[in-house]
Every structure is written in C-alpha cells, then in structure tokens.
Amino acid sequence: MNLREEIERLYALDPAELKYDPMVADVCTEIVRALNHGEIRAAEPFEGGWRVNMWVKHGILLLFRMGAMQDMSTDDNFRFFDKHTLPTKRFTLEDGVRIVPGGSSVRTGAYLSAGVICMPPMYINIGAWIGPGTMIDSHALVGTCAQIGARVHVSAAAQVGGVLEPAGARPVIIEDDVMIGGNCGVYEGVRVRNRAVLGSGVILNASTPVYDLVNSTIHRSTDHEPLEIPEGAVVVAGSRAIQNEWGRINGLAVSTPLIVKYRDEKTDARTALESALR
C-alpha cells in the first residue's frame, strides 16, 4: 500500500464510516511498524531546516481514533488501561537500547536508536524519535512526536513537550550534542540547535523571549517560525524586572532565559558525556 495516501484517505472519513473501512486494521498495523522502525517521522531534517510531516501525525491520530479501551495489566500489582492500538513498545536485546530497571515506559510508535540509555523512571510517548547515544535520565519525559538527536543528555526531571494538534504544528526539536539540564522544560515547537546547553531550570516555550547577552539581541518566535536556540548557545535561567510602577514598587520580576556565552573548551569539558556509561 501507499501508506501516506491511505492515512490521508482514512483520516478524512467520518468516524462513523471509518470503523467499517476494510483497510483500517492493516493501515494501523503498518503505521505502528513504520514508526517503531524509524521509517517515518513526524518531522525530519530538510534542506538545512526541518519539515513537519502532517500525514504522519494524522496517522498517529488515526490510531487514537480507532483504539478501543483494553485491559493491558501485566499482573495484579501493575494494572493499566489504554487504547488497544497503543500498547507499550516491545524491545529485544538486538535493539541495542539500554533500559535500566525501575519503572520506565516507552509507548509503541516511538523510535529509539541503538545506544539510547533510559534511566528509571522515565517515559517516552508515541511518535518520538531519539538518536544514538542519547540518555533519557530519571523522571524525564519525552512527549508525543518530539525529535531528539544523537548524543543528547535529557537530565533528571526535564520535560521535552509533545504535540499532535494542530497537525501542522512543529514538534519540539532537540538537535545533536545538546545538553538539557535538570528540571528544564522545552515546549511548543521550540528548536534547540546543535551543541546548545540549557542550564538547570530553563523553561522555553513559544512565548518565551531569550536574551542573548553575547550578541545584544533577543530571540523570539514569530507567526511563522518557532523559537530557536542558536547553535552552541549556553542558556541559563535569569530574571527581568517588571517595568510598570507597581511592579517596581514591589520589586517584581519575571523569569527570563539568558544566553550568557557560546560553547568553548571549558563548556565542552563540563558537559562531556562519559563514554564508560555507554
């Protein structure tokens, strides 16, 4: 079958018609298989930038539409219930993914390259794509369709947000060799470019202005482009004083990410990934 054509055809059907279409079960099976093997992606590198594949996101939404609630409990102590089209992902030793015991979960339809390390407990949702040598640390979350490159460290309690709707919205994109510090949050289609470093507690979303102290400029999202953190930028959590009179009287400020430097040898040494752990 032409998977893209079949997804778009089925996605356009009325829900009442959809369940009677003879191709639905085969298409859903093929969507899950292709996502699990990294053959299709919600977004992918394209001509120096990134291209969102809306039809892939439509396919994931189709899995939700067609799923029926099912008891997926493994035993009396570990009970859970979800759509039958969206079980947890099954790994084998040959996948080359290291999953340390302790309560982690990966939903089917997520692609993890060989060499990925998952520290417990953490969660990776459907449509996520994770490159080789990346570590997803304890209590970290990788949301629906998030794209994470190679040799990235998503530190403890960090959240990489997901997006399914609107279908044309770009998911969060974390490029290669990025360090995401503990308790960071990256949401709403933000792109963090190669070798950037997010210090602990940095929060980035579509409405966040990022002040570049090195280049005396402000990075913002626009109506057409999400916020992008430049390549090699080192971002820390800062604050900005509120300028109206009442704010000044009360000494109020809002949190503001600051680019304080760009990567150098000292930064590289502090953020180096320990090969022995891999």
pLDDT at position 177: 97
Q: How large is the average pLDDT for residues 68-90?
A: 90
**Average pLDDT over every residue of 93-115:** 96
Confidence at 265, pLDDT banded by 50, 70, 90: confident
* Entry pTM: 0.93
Three state DSSP letters for 136-160: ECCCCEECCCCEECCCCEECCCCEE
Strands 185-186 and 217-219: unpaired
Residue 276's Cα: distance from chain center in Å?
26
* Adjacent-strand bridge partners of 275: none
CA–CA gap between residue 134 and residue 104 (Å, rounded): 16
Q: Which domains are delineated in the chain?
A: 3-68 (1.10.166.10), 92-267 (2.160.10.10)
Structure-block tokens of residue 52: 């969102």
Residue 168 confidence (pLDDT) above 80: no
The edge-to-edge listing of strands for the beta sheet with 173-174 is 111-112, 129-130, 147-148, 173-174, 191-192, 228-229
Share of the chain above pLDDT 70, in %: 97
Q: What is the mean pLDDT of the chain?
A: 94
Least confident of 90-94, 121-125, 224-228, 274-278: 274-278
Overall average pLDDT of the 105-119 stretch: 97
Predicted confidence (pLDDT) per residue in 42-68, tens digit: 999 999 899 999 999 999 999 999 999
Query: Residues 175, 157: contact at Cβ < 8 Å?
Result: no
Span 80-100, average pLDDT = 94
pLDDT higher than threshold 90 for residue 266: no
Both tokens of residue 134? 């990346």
- Which amino acid does the sequence have at 66? M
Q: Give residue-wise pLDDT tens across range 13-23.
A: 998 889 899 99
Per-residue pLDDT at 167: 67
Q: What is the pLDDT of residue 114?
A: 97
Give the Cα separation of 123 and 52 in Å (integer): 23
Average pLDDT estimate for 73-85 = 88
* The predicted structure's pLDDT at residue 276: 66
**Cβ-based neighbours of 273, under 8 Å, separated by 6 or more:** 133, 135, 151, 153
Mean pLDDT of 10-38: 94
Evaluate if residue 277 carries a pLDDT over 70. Answer: no
C-alpha–C-alpha distance, residues 65 and 27, integer Å:
13
Backbone angles phi, psi at 12, to 5 degrees: -80, -10
Task: Give 172's DSSP letter.
Answer: P
Q: Per-residue pLDDT averaged across 232-256, rounded?
A: 95
Percent of the chain, pLDDT > 90?
Answer: 84
